[in-house]
Structures are given as structure tokens and as C-alpha cells.
């Protein structure tokens, strides 16, 4: 028994093995870096997590709650960092990287401040940003032109919905009952200058701000889309993948779609891709739509941060490996091979110089992360997210006169342990 | 068991109470079974006691320092929450509808399997195939079937449009989940009913036929009354199973559109939300409600379980 346990912790070469739990995006790059970042002391091995963010969180949390010593490194969605750090499941990051992250939060380091912000908790650094994702508005240039929409200027949600409806097109969003729906709602609320919750460091006593003009404006937009002919028929179960096919459908003028950065590589013509070069030329992109005309939008911030497990048997090696796999070159490779954008300015510069992406698109990604709106950072994030999903889903049931008020009260009750979720 | 009679003279003199050998065998039996009992207690009693203990705390896994003793507070929260009663209502609906439909279809299948003369093996196997499929797999299959994008259900049904989203509202989503559940577990019901059907004496049916009873009369006056114990066992097993419905909901709607059952609510509270206190309270309530369902069904059928097992 003891022998088999000892064997399990060792790789084929007999060196100790460090497990790196990864989400299934950019896996070939992870495997390459698992090899490159292995040293004479240890071997790094990639272990695959499920595809859904909630499932990834559940699997990691189950291991860490059981004080699993074989969880050495892990890819974390930004919203998990605060939860995991508060639970004591992550090693604190110290040294030059931590200093750089802290400076970047103030806008003075190499990390994009939106990305740096995601790894701090309680004034300490608990993970290293690997890639920083964000959403932009993808659209068919011909559709926008037919609707008379000037895409060189910021557009609002109202304009986008009306333009799509007028031309028989659609608007693609993520509105299934899952985390990405909260991403949308959070961006809408923040775009109107509000917040879902504030003072989140107070834990269960955080201030719920949803019952506000910003909350009502966000609800009005969701209601408007749900009631519009521009809504896609699967609106209530839509996800990042469902609206991709609506951009270049067999019939119809296409769509406006808010989605992550991977979309560009997804449509880029190539082997096995259904998009033709003519269609690809018709693909446009611009900053995330405004909730309120004239008020800067707050594009969602996502991505992946690398954390080191608190119960790892080799914390120093794991931290060393974490630095290696978040290196500038690794970030550049992820961007070029998998369309996952970097978290540092220096890596962004290199990706921009590579010519693999249009310059304006790269700059759009960078400013979107830097000026984006993170989701609430709280040890009770799962409750916040779940409570929002419970009261805002389905999109057809959202009403600006009642949803923000009811969901605000419900969220407060859930945080105080007075209500089931 | 042998029923050969032994002459009274050949029997050894009767002692009062069991013999030494019998007692030794009993002791040996107890020793042999002891490890299994200890193991059972460890794997069943410990988690249950731990759940009861945890249910008295306001405790989230991600905030270990904020753990507070709240006594029965979590039970009060759960029992006064409309969500608890709504999910319980949906769960009971799943249970009643699926078990009722399965009872009827399962009985028809059981009759077919019982009476079929040709291709017996093939027919019996095809009826039982869905039960051999893992619930998660059948959940996915039915989710695809009901999908308006690549499913075939909308094309088959004349009264729904091609773009009708079955998972867009509570009623159609609940129906879709029920269809998947019924498809998956009807064979189990028919298997149990087939066993009951096999126990109904052919002589009795023949006698009823000779007396001029119609087919319906033979069914309602002879076959069904003689299958009461088997029907009860089938209904009890399936009802308890249906009350714990989880997989189909997890796969098909993930609990959206108010389709979640009490098991799903418990899962979400404990595993997704890390709310160990409230989640444990819910799991204890789920356990108690399963006991209640079992008690009600046994009472409803007024069957003596010992008699059903043909014990004296």
C-alpha cells in the first residue's frame, strides 16, 4: 500500500511528480510547458479538469477540502481565487512576482490591472495570472451597415438589439442558467455605474447593491432582448458555443454577439473551418456595448490564474513551476496557438508584433481587460452567483420593476443564511 | 428444501433449547458477520451522524473561521423556505406521474413478456435494454432528442413548432425529464411485475375462464389481486428511486426552469455552494421524507411485508 502510494507520487523517470490541474483550453500548450518546466528535481504532469467552470471548481474544492497533497498546481477561474484563498487552500505567492502583481493593481506593473486585481485577496497575492480573457462585441459588418449603425463609435445595447431586429438578424449572448449569465448581468450592471455587491471583504455582511438604477437598467436590457425578435430561439439555454453558428448562417444576415477572445481564431479560415475568406472579411469587432449611452462599458474579465495547493508536498518546487508556466513566452504561445490572450503588457506587445492578429483587435483586447469590470471578489462568490442565477433566469422572466428588488433581497437572505439557494 | 418425513423413533431425544453445537455455530456465525456489521456502521451510520452534527452549524467550506452553532436553525430555514416546498412539490410530481405511467406500461410489457411464445429471448431483451443504459447517458440522449436544433421530437409531434424549446419553460422541461425517466426505468418495473405475474396460478385463471369471466374480469378479479404484493414492491422500489431523482435533471436542465428535485437542491447546497450546514440539514430532511414515502406506500397497499416474502 505504502509502496503504491510512493509510486503514484513519482513519474516514470523516478523523480517526484507535480500534478498540474488544467482546464481543457489550450491543452497542447500546457503539455508543452509541462515538459519544458520540468527540472532535474521534478516532473510536471498535466491532469485534465472538466470543461465547465462550476465543475472545475467543484472537483478542485473536493480535493483541497480533503487536504489532498497531490494537488500541486491548478488553473483557477479568477472568481475562485478569493474563495480558495479564504478557505486556506492556496499558498501565498511571495517575492518579485507578488510585488509586480501588487504594483500592477495600481496600474504600474507589467500585469494588466484587470488581471492583477483577480489574484489578490486580503492584501496578499494568492495566484499568478496566466491569461486574461475578455469579451468584445463581434458582428457582421454587412448587418451593421444595413442597419445604419456606425461601429466606429461606441454602441449601446439598445442600438444593437434594435439594429439586429430591424434587419432580421439576432443578438448572441450567454443566458443559460450558469456562470456566464452572471458574467453578462455583472457587465450590464457595472456598465451602468453600479455593482451587484460591494464591501465583499465583509463576507456574509457584504452590501447588496442590486436594487438600484443600474440594476434596473441591466434588467431592462435583458427584458428588451428577450421580448425582441432579435433574441435567438435558444436564449434561455444559450452558451458561448450556441451563438457561434448564427454569425454566418445558411440564410439570414447574421448576428451581433458578445463573446470571448477565442472567437477570432474560431472563424479564421483554415483546415476544417466552415468560414470562407469572404465571410471572414465581413467579421467585425468593437468594444463591449454600453449599458447607458455615453457611459463607458465594463467588459467582462475572465481568464486563468495559476494557484499552488496549500497541501502540496513540494510547495517550493510548485511555486517555481508556477512561475515557469506563466512566463512571457508561455503566454505568447497560448495567445498564438490557442487564442488565449496574455495577462502581461510585455507578452501583449510580442503578440501584437507577431502579426497573427489585427493590431486593432489586440489593442481592443488589452484595453477591454484593463478597463473591464471584474465579478464580485468574495469568499461567498458561489452564493452570489447562484442567487443571481436563481432570480434572473430565465431571461424572459426578467422585469426591471421587480427583478432587481426581489433578487437584491433574496441575495441578502442567502448571504445571511436565511434562505435556501 | 427437502420434505422427506423421518420416523419419530429415529429422532434424537428433544432437549430444551438449542444444542451446544447449535450455540457454537451461532457464535461462529456472529463472529464471521461482525466485520461486515462494523463496516456497515462505519460507512452508513458515521456519515449519517456526521450529517446530523453538521446540520446544527452555519458553516460554509470557504469560510472555515465563520462557523457558528445554530441548533435547529438550518431546519427552520429549510422548512420555512418556499423553495424547499416548491422542490418537494416538483419531486412528488415526478414520483407520482412517472410511477403511475410506468406501472401501466410496465404491466403491459410484463404481460407481453409473460405471454410471448415466439422470439421470447429477443423480445424480453429488447424490452429490458433501456434499463441497462446508464442514466446519465440516457439523459444526454433524450436531451439531444428534445433539442430543437438537432433533435427529432419536434419533427414527430404535429402540435409543436420546429423551434419549440422544451427546456425553455417549467412544464415542457418537466415533461422531457419525466419521459427520459420513464423510458429508462419502465423495464425495471416490468421485471418486478413479471415476477408477480409468474406467481399467479394458471389454474385460477383457467377456472375463471370456465366460469365465464371476461378478460377484464379475469384481470381485475384474479390476476391483479393476486399480484398485490408484487405491485407493492414494484411501486415502493420505483417510488423511492423516483423520489431521489437527480441524474436526468442534472444532465437535461441542471435544475433550471424550476425543474430541480429535493436531491438536486441538497446537492447544490452542499457541493456547489459549500454550505455544509444547510446542505446537511437538507440531506437529513431528504432521508426522513424517503422514510415517510416508504411508510405511506406500505400503509396504502395494506400488505404485510412478511407475508409478501412468504414467511410465516
Look-up of cell digits 422427506: B4
Put simply, whether A160 touches B (Cβ < 8 Å) is no
A121 and A50 within one domain: yes
Q: Give the up-direction half-sphere exposure of residue A343: CA atoms within 13 A in the CB hemisphere.
A: 30
A276 and A309 within one domain: no
Nearest to A121 by CA among A203, A60, A207: A203
* Residue B62 falls inside a structural domain: no
* Residue A272 falls inside a structural domain: yes
How many contacts does A have with B, using Cβ atoms within 8 A?
93
Query: Average pLDDT, whole number, for chain B?
Result: 88
Element (H, E) at A367: helix A359-370
A148: left (phi over 0), alpha (psi -120 to 50) or beta: left
Q: B185 pLDDT exceeds 50? A: yes
Q: Do B63 and A379 touch (CB under 8 A)?
A: yes
Q: Which residues of B touch A178 (CB under 8 A)?
A: 254
Residues linked to residue B68 through DSSP beta bridges, in sequence order: B58
Look-up of cell digits 454566418: A248
* Number of domains making up chain B: 1
Integer Cα distance of A304 and A27 in angstroms: 13
Q: A228 pLDDT exceeds 90? A: yes
Q: Which residues of B touch A203 (CB under 8 A)?
A: 63, 66
- Mode of pairing for the β-strands spanning A73-76 and A17-22: parallel
Nearest to A30 by CA among A63, A74, A91: A74
Put simply, whether B256 touches A (Cβ < 8 Å) is yes
Nearest to B268 among A203, A417, A421 (CB): A421
Specify whether the CB–CB gap between A178 and A394 falls below 8 A: no
The pLDDT value recorded for residue B307 is: 56
Look-up of cell digits 434596473: A216
Q: Which residues of B touch A87 (CB under 8 A)?
A: 61-64
The pLDDT value recorded for residue B309 is: 52
Higher per-residue confidence, A185 vs B258: A185
Higher per-residue confidence, B305 vs A146: A146
Q: DSSP letter for B15, please.
A: P
Q: Do B63 and A203 touch (CB under 8 A)?
A: yes
Over residues B106-125, the pLDDT tens digits come to 999 999 998 888 888 898 88
Element (H, E) at A136: strand A128-140
Q: Do B81 and A87 touch (CB under 8 A)?
A: no
**pLDDT confidence band for B39 (50 / 70 / 90):** very high
Range of the domain at A178: 136-299+377-416
Q: A52 pLDDT exceeds 70? A: yes
The pLDDT value recorded for residue A200 is: 86
* Residue B165 falls inside a structural domain: yes
* Residue B233 falls inside a structural domain: yes
Over residues B129-150, the pLDDT tens digits come to 999 999 999 999 999 999 988 8
Specify whether the CB–CB gap between A261 and A255 falls below 8 A: no
How is residue B184 written as a grid cell? 429508462
Over residues B151-175, the pLDDT tens digits come to 899 999 988 888 888 988 899 999 9
A83 and A158 within one domain: no
* Residue A5 falls inside a structural domain: no
Integer Cα distance of B284 and A302 in angstroms: 38
A325 and A245 within one domain: no
Closest Cα in chain B to A65: B61
Specify whether the CB–CB gap between A369 and A296 falls below 8 A: no
Q: B15 pLDDT exceeds 60? A: no
**pLDDT confidence band for A397 (50 / 70 / 90):** very high
**pLDDT confidence band for B206 (50 / 70 / 90):** very high
Q: Do A420 and B265 touch (CB under 8 A)?
A: yes
Question: E-assigned strands of chain B?
Answer: 57-58, 68-69
Range of the domain at B237: 88-257
The enclosing domain of B121 has a CATH number of 1.10.3720.10
A279 and A223 within one domain: yes
* Residue A6 falls inside a structural domain: no
How is residue A412 written as a grid cell? 441578502
Nearest to A219 by CA among A415, A397, A414: A397
* Number of domains making up chain A: 2
Look-up of cell digits 497531490: A70
Integer Cα distance of B107 and B198 in angstroms: 12
Put simply, whether B128 touches A (Cβ < 8 Å) is no
Look-up of cell digits 428588488: A405
Integer Cα distance of A34 and A330 in angstroms: 11
The pLDDT value recorded for residue B65 is: 83
Q: Give the up-direction half-sphere exposure of residue B271: CA atoms within 13 A in the CB hemisphere.
A: 15
Specify whether the CB–CB gap between A26 and A337 falls below 8 A: yes
Over residues A143-171, the pLDDT tens digits come to 999 999 999 999 999 999 999 999 999 99
Shortest distance, CA A127 to any CA of chain B (angstroms): 17
Integer Cα distance of B143 and B82 in angstroms: 28
Q: Which residues of A touch B282 (CB under 8 A)?
A: 420
The pLDDT value recorded for residue B2 is: 41
Q: Do A84 and B62 touch (CB under 8 A)?
A: yes
Q: Do B63 and A87 touch (CB under 8 A)?
A: yes
Measuring CA to CA, how many Å separate A96 from each of A85, A99, A103, A110, A134?
20, 5, 10, 12, 26
- The whole-model pTM stands at 0.78
Amino acid at each position: 500500500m505504502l509502496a503504491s502510494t510512493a509510486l503514484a507520487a513519482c513519474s516514470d523517470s523516478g523523480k517526484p511528480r507535480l500534478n498540474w490541474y488544467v482546464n481543457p483550453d489550450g491543452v497542447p500548450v500546457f503539455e508543452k510547458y509541462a515538459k519544458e518546466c520540468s527540472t532535474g528535481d521534478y516532473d510536471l504532469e498535466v491532469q485534465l479538469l472538466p470543461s465547465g467552470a462550476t465543475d472545475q471548481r467543484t472537483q478542485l474544492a473536493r480535493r483541497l477540502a480533503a487536504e489532498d497533497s497531490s494537488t500541486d498546481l491548478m488553473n483557477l477561474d479568477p472568481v475562485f481565487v478569493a474563495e480558495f484563498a479564504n478557505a486556506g487552500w492556496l499558498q501565498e505567492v511571495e517575492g518579485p512576482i507578488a510585488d509586480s502583481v501588487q504594483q500592477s493593481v495600481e496600474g504600474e506593473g507589467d500585469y494588466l490591472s484587470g488581471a492583477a486585481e483577480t489574484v489578490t485577496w486580503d492584501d496578499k497575492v494568492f495566484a499568478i495570472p496566466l491569461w486574461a480573457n475578455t469579451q468584445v462585441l463581434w458582428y457582421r459588418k454587412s448587418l451593421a451597415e444595413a442597419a445604419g449603425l456606425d461601429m466606429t463609435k461606441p454602441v449601446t445595447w439598445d442600438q444593437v438589439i434594435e439594429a439586429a431586429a430591424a434587419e432580421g438578424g439576432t443578438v448572441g449572448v450567454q443566458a443559460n442558467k450558469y456562470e456566464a449569465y452572471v458574467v453578462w448581468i455583472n457587465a450590464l450592471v457595472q456598465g451602468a455605474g453600479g455593482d451587484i455587491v460591494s464591501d465583499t471583504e465583509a463576507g456574509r455582511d457584504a452590501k447588496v447593491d442590486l436594487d438600484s438604477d443600474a440594476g434596473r437598467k441591466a434588467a431592462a436590457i435583458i427584458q428588451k432582448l428577450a421580448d425582441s425578435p432579435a433574441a435567438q430561439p435558444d436564449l434561455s439555454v444559450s452558451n458561448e458555443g450556441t451563438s457561434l453558428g448564427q454569425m454566418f448562417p445558411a440564410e439570414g444576415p447574421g448576428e451581433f454577439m458578445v463573446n470571448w477572445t477565442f472567437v477570432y481564431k474560431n472563424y479564421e479560415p483554415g483546415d476544417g473551418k466552415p468560414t470562407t475568406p469572404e465571410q471572414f472579411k465581413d467579421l467585425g469587432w468593437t468594444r463591449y456595448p454600453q449599458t447607458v449611452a455615453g457611459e463607458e462599458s465594463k467588459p467582462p474579465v475572465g481568464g486563468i490564474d495559476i494557484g499552488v495547493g496549500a497541501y502540496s508536498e513540494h510547495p517550493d518546487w510548485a511555486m517555481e513551476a508556477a512561475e515557469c508556466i506563466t512566463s512571457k513566452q508561455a503566454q505568447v504561445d497560448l495567445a498564438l496557438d490557442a487564442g488565449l490572450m496574455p495577462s502581461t503588457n510585455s507578452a501583449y506587445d510580442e503578440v501584437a508584433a507577431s502579426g497573427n492578429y489585427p493590431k486593432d483587435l489586440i489593442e481592443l483586447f488589452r484595453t477591454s481587460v484593463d478597463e473591464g469590470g471584474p465579478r464580485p471578489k468574495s469568499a461567498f462568490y458561489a452564493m452570489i452567483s447562484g442567487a443571481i442565477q436563481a432570480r434572473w433566469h430565465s431571461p424572459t422572466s426578467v422585469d426591471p420593476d421587480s427583478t432587481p428588488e426581489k433578487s437584491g433581497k433574496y441575495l441578502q437572505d442567502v448571504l445571511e443564511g436565511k434562505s435556501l439557494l | 428444501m427437502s420434505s422427506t418425513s423421518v420416523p419419530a423413533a429415529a429422532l434424537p431425544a428433544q432437549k430444551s433449547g438449542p444444542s451446544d453445537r447449535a450455540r457454537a455455530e451461532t457464535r461462529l456465525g456472529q463472529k464471521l458477520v461482525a466485520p461486515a456489521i462494523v463496516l456497515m456502521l462505519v460507512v452508513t451510520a458515521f456519515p449519517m451522524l456526521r450529517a446530523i452534527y453538521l446540520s446544527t452549524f452555519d458553516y460554509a467550506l470557504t469560510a472555515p473561521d465563520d462557523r457558528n452553532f445554530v441548533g435547529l436553525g438550518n431546519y427552520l430555514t429549510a422548512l420555512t423556505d418556499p423553495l424547499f416546498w416548491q422542490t418537494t412539490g416538483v419531486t412528488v410530481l415526478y414520483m407520482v406521474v412517472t410511477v403511475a405511467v410506468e406501472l401501466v406500461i410496465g404491466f403491459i410489457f410484463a404481460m407481453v413478456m409473460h405471454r410471448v411464445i415466439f422470439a421470447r429471448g429477443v423480445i424480453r431483451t429488447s424490452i429490458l435494454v433501456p434499463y441497462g443504459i446508464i442514466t446519465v447517458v440516457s439523459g444526454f440522449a433524450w436531451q439531444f432528442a428534445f433539442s430543437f436544433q438537432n433533435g427529432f421530437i419536434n419533427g414527430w409531434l404535429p402540435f409543436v413548432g420546429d423551434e419549440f424549446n422544451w427546456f425553455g419553460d417549467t412544464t415542457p422541461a418537466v415533461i422531457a425529464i419525466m419521459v427520459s425517466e420513464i423510458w429508462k426505468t419502465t423495464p425495471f418495473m416490468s421485471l418486478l411485475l413479471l415476477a408477480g405475474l409468474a406467481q399467479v396460478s394458471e389454474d385460477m385463471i383457467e377456472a375463471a375462464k370456465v366460469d365465464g369471466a371476461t378478460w377484464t374480469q379475469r384481470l381485475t378479479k384474479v390476476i391483479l389481486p393476486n399480484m398485490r404484493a408484487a405491485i407493492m414492491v414494484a411501486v415502493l422500489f420505483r417510488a423511492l428511486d423516483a423520489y431521489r431523482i437527480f441524474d436526468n435533471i442534472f444532465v437535461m436542465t441542471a435544475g433550471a426552469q424550476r425543474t430541480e428535485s429535493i436531491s438536486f437542491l441538497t446537492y447544490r447546497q452542499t457541493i456547489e455552494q459549500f454550505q455544509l450546514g444547510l446542505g446537511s440539514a437538507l440531506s437529513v430532511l431528504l432521508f426522513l421524507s424517503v422514510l415517510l414515502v416508504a411508510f405511506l406506500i406500505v400503509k396504502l397497499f395494506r400488505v404485510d411485508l412478511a407475508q409478501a416474502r412468504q414467511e410465516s
